[in-house]
Amino acid sequence: MLILSRRVNEKIVIGDDVVVSVVEVRGDQVKLGIDAPRNVKVFRQEVFDAIQEENKRAAAASGLQLPPMDIPLRAKD
């Protein structure tokens, strides 16, 4: 994990097209602004975890077996 210190109005660039800005710091809360292309999904961790859990429950209910997330998917010919 990379740990960086930033102040209000300072930014971090991720890849070629994602910019994270520190918008406000108040006590122990930090507000971040994220500028990313529309095709890049950005979630808070707790929302991402809830989506993953719901997807697992839906797949289990339908009997569908999901591949592990670390194996790339390939289109069928």
> Quick one: DSSP state of residue 61?
H
Per-residue pLDDT of the chain (77 residues; tens, 9 = 90+): 999 999 999 999 999 999 999 999 999 999 999 999 999 999 999 999 999 999 888 888 766 666 676 666 566 65
Which two structure tokens, joined as six digits, stand for 48? Answer: 């991402």
The structure tokens listed for 14 are 């991720």
Q: How far is CA 70 from CA 2, 53, 64, in A?
A: 22, 17, 18
Say what the pLDDT of residue 71 is: 60
Q: Which residue is it, tokens 């971040």? A: 32
CA distance 7 to 32: 11
Q: Where are the domains of the chain?
A: 11-62
